[in-house]
Amino acid sequence: MNIIELKNINKVFGNESNQVHALKNVNFSVEKGDFVAIIGQSGSGKSTLMNIIGCLDVPTSGEYKINNVEVSKMNANQLAELRCKTFGFIFQRYNLLTSLKATDNASLPAIYAGVDAFERTKRAEEILSNLDLSDKYKSRPNELSGGQQQRVSIARALMNGGDIILADEPTGALDSKSGENVMKIIKQLHQKGHTIILVTHDKSIAAQASRMIEIKDGEIVADIRNADDIYEMKDKPLQVARGKLAHLKYSLMEAFNMSVHAIISNKMRSLLTMLGIIIGIASVVSVVALGNASQAKIMERINSMGTNTIDILPGKGFGDMRSGRVKSLKVSDSDYLAKQRFIDNATPNVSANGTLLFENTSVNAQLSGVGAEFFEVKGRKIAQGRIFTPEEVRNMASVVVIDDNTLNEIFPNNPNPVGEIIIFNKKPLKVIGVTEKDNNPGPMSDSMKLWTPYTTAMFKVNGNNDISTITVKVSDTVNSQVAEESIDNILTALHGKKDFFMINTDSIKQTVESTTNTMKLLISSIAVISLIVGGIGVMNIMLVSVTERTREIGIRMAIGAKQRDILQQFLIEAVLICIIGGFLGVTLSISLGTAINYFSTDFGMDFSTTSIILALTCSTAIGIIFGYMPARNASELNPIDALASE
């Protein structure tokens, strides 16, 4: 039975102006189990013929059948399948992968056939030991002699069965003794039933084959049969009883291992490539963390201004120069507002600057006249004593609540000042309570604060009924925006004009939130540019890597790697670089954040799992996007061109 049939095969290289007709109307067939030598001078077209037979190259015209199936009708995957399972290549220059051990080199084709690691290694060691290499399993090609390397390459050719062994000048680079040894092995393979096609320019080697075809200037000039020995297949075929999934798994694992290997063997280059990704990811993650932390901090301060409160101030707004002098707000406004159903309570606030006197100490301090609800609304807690009652507010009681700053300043030696009398602007006030330390200190955190009933502040201290602000606590069930509008309407109606403005903590919160979010987005998009630059770096280095490893790609294709396998390998390498970069970036950012959180109280970083997951997803995406083009270039290489590259 003919395993190979060639009819009128022509191969023309080059363009119209510079054509080389390497093969001219070549016709012959090879019987299963035969041993054919192709002989001819240098440049006669032997290798060209061999490459066409091995499905590494396609003829310009003619028919080529393997096992009665026309090869020209096959797609790239089917051709790869043939190279993988049917052919075994032995090259003149061995073509082993320099980074792999002998067993791994020998077992490489089985990866593309979908065999698991254990069985792969077992079979490879078995074949290597049959070839007298049992002590060289772990040696890399540069630790082996030429003859030994050629035997490893023979083992590789046999790995997936090697029904048809294609040997192009297998002894060409060897000394005569190693050459003889290799020929002996090839003859044994023939006897075990492998079909052998061997290319040589040496008549004595060709004479050892059963059939000798001589080729001259691309034409067959002689076809001589020396012996009729055709053998049945006796060698163990490779057992692959696995589905597509297992195949995918092994090729993915192989791609992953190769990528790790490639990254480790080019440490500096990989690190520099990753740098762009590291910086990009670190800045995005840091910006978001910084934004989150400062937003939380600002929110905390706003919350300390009281929840659901609206402050009403005289004037047109912040920056209104007159607002200090405008006395448009009255106690009656506050009383009127307090009666509204949507308002829990409203208190007028009066402020007075003056001198505080106690025994020999005299200091400047600020006195605020407030309502009894003030402390609850603003969330100020009492450390000792009590706050004043509504009764005392009505009666203009001369009582005062002081804060911890005042306590430390005025009563340095008396931690329990309740009951003491202090003098503010010549008016005696009795201390009834001390507030707790403010745990959300604002900008003027070390100023001394004192609170009296607003009635006391107006009539006893200031001597007039001017009030500076009104604080309104809106019912929890009412939307603060709606409340603000209603207050606006009421006061405008009362005053006949709008001579006040409001500070609504809720709307401040919303503004702060939206501002920080915008800032985060803005700075993040700048950081994304760095990520894109990083991605271009990855693409660049992958293109270099593909160029450097073109020969490796050629070898892999020759022994059965599909385009998908090659694409996968380079894509995984790019993604791996980016993921490692992303991981390092996140780590860098977190360590930076930890340091900042440790040393600084003003700044902080708040990392969210979402942003970290997002960053890592982003770096994976960059790997895929920027790695795809180089990987596709690699996978679309022509096997024969790739093999020929140095």
Ligand X SMILES: Nc1ncnc2c1ncn2[C@@H]1O[C@H](COP(=O)(O)OP(=O)(O)OP(=O)(O)O)[C@@H](O)[C@H]1O
CB of 57 to ligand X, least distance (A): 9
C-alpha distances (whole Å) from 356 to each of 386, 427, 432, 433, 448 are: 21, 9, 16, 17, 10
CB of 158 to ligand X, least distance (A): 24
Task: Give whichever of 150 and 635 is closer to Mg ion, judged by the CB atom.
Answer: 150
- For residue 201, state whether it binds ligand X (rule: CB under 6 A): yes
Task: Give whichever of 42 and 610 is closer to ligand X, judged by the CB atom.
Answer: 42
Residue 59 binds what, of Mg ion, ligand X, none (CB under 5 to 8 Å, by partner type)?
none
Three-state SS for 366-415 is EEEEECCCHHHHCCCCEEEECCCCHHHHHCCCCEEEECHHHHHHHCCCCC
Task: Give whichever of 46 and 151 is closer to ligand X, judged by the CB atom.
Answer: 46
- For residue 216, state whether it binds ligand X (rule: CB under 6 A): no
In the stretch 38-67, what mask flags binding to Mg ion with x, by CB under 5 A? ---------x--------------------
Residue at token pair 């969210």: 608
CB of 22 to Mg ion, least distance (A): 11
CB of 114 to Mg ion, least distance (A): 32
CB of 147 to ligand X, least distance (A): 20
Task: Give whichever of 47 and 210 is closer to Mg ion, judged by the CB atom.
Answer: 47
Measured distance CA(617)–CA(632) in Å, rounded: 22
Let me know how many helices (H) and strands (E) the chain has, helices first: 20, 20
The tokens of 464 are what?
């007039």
- Beta carbons within 8 Å of 168's beta carbon, 6+ residues apart: 46, 47, 50, 89, 90, 91, 92, 199
Stretch that binds ligand X, among 42-50, 101-109, 158-166, 355-363 (CB under 6 A): 42-50
Task: Give whichever of 47 and 635 is closer to Mg ion, judged by the CB atom.
Answer: 47
DSSP of 26-57:
EEEEEETT-EEEEE--TTSSHHHHHHHHTTSS
Residue 316 binds what, of Mg ion, ligand X, none (CB under 5 to 8 Å, by partner type)?
none
- Beta carbons within 8 Å of 293's beta carbon, 6+ residues apart: 603, 604, 605, 606
- For residue 45, state whether it binds ligand X (rule: CB under 6 A): yes
CB of 172 to ligand X, least distance (A): 8
Is the CB of residue 182 less than 8 Å from the CB of residue 151?
Answer: yes
Residue at token pair 């006249």: 369
Residue 505 binds what, of Mg ion, ligand X, none (CB under 5 to 8 Å, by partner type)?
none
Task: Give whichever of 42 and 413 is closer to ligand X, judged by the CB atom.
Answer: 42
Among 44, 153, 295, 516, binds ligand X (CB under 6 A): 44
Is the CB of residue 576 less than 8 Å from the CB of residue 259?
Answer: yes
Q: In this structure, how many other beta carbons lie within 10 angstroms of the beta carbon of residue 91?
A: 22
Query: What residues form DSSP beta bridges with 212?
Result: 37, 224
The answer to whether the Cα torsion of 622, 625, 629, 635 is positive or negative is: positive
In the stretch 150-189, what mask flags binding to ligand X with x, by CB under 6 A? ----------------------------------------
Strand arrangement of the beta sheet that strand 211-216 belongs to: 87-90, 164-168, 195-200, 35-39, 211-216, 219-225
**Which letter does DSSP use for residue 611 in this model?**
H
Chain centroid to CA 589: how far? Answer: 14
Measured distance CA(77)–CA(91) in Å, rounded: 23
Residue 152 binds what, of Mg ion, ligand X, none (CB under 5 to 8 Å, by partner type)?
none
Task: Give whichever of 158 and 183 is closer to ligand X, judged by the CB atom.
Answer: 183
Task: Give whichever of 92 and 153 is closer to ligand X, judged by the CB atom.
Answer: 92
Among positions 22-41, residues that touch ligand X (CB under 6 A) are 22, 40
Residue 20 binds what, of Mg ion, ligand X, none (CB under 5 to 8 Å, by partner type)?
ligand X
For β-strands 2-13 and 61-66, DSSP reports them as antiparallel
CB of 45 to Mg ion, least distance (A): 9
Residue 524 binds what, of Mg ion, ligand X, none (CB under 5 to 8 Å, by partner type)?
none
CB of 224 to Mg ion, least distance (A): 21
Task: Give whichever of 13 and 603 is closer to ligand X, judged by the CB atom.
Answer: 13
- For residue 14, state whether it binds ligand X (rule: CB under 6 A): yes
Give the binding-site size for Mg ion (rule: CB under 5 A): 1
Region for 385 from its dihedrals, namely left if φ exceeds 0, alpha if ψ lies in -120 to 50, beta otherwise: left
Q: In this structure, how many other beta carbons lie within 10 angstroms of the beta carbon of residue 123?
A: 22
Measured distance CA(191)–CA(81) in Å, rounded: 25
Among 29, 43, 261, 296, binds ligand X (CB under 6 A): 43
- For residue 611, state whether it binds Mg ion (rule: CB under 5 A): no
Stretch that binds ligand X, among 46-54, 337-345, 584-592, 617-625 (CB under 6 A): 46-54
Q: To 10 degrees, the CA torsion angle through 56, 62, 66, 71?
A: 60
Residue 44 binds what, of ligand X, Mg ion, none (CB under 5 to 8 Å, by partner type)?
ligand X
- For residue 20, state whether it binds ligand X (rule: CB under 6 A): yes
Among 15, 17, 42, 176, binds ligand X (CB under 6 A): 42
- For residue 601, state whether it binds ligand X (rule: CB under 6 A): no
Q: Which residue is nearest to Mg ion (CB)?
A: 47
Task: Give whichever of 47 and 309 is closer to Mg ion, judged by the CB atom.
Answer: 47
Task: Give whichever of 61 and 408 is closer to ligand X, judged by the CB atom.
Answer: 61
Task: Give whichever of 45 and 179 is closer to ligand X, judged by the CB atom.
Answer: 45
Per CB under 5 A, residues contacting Mg ion are 47
Per CB under 6 A, residues contacting ligand X are 13-14, 20, 22, 40, 42-48, 201
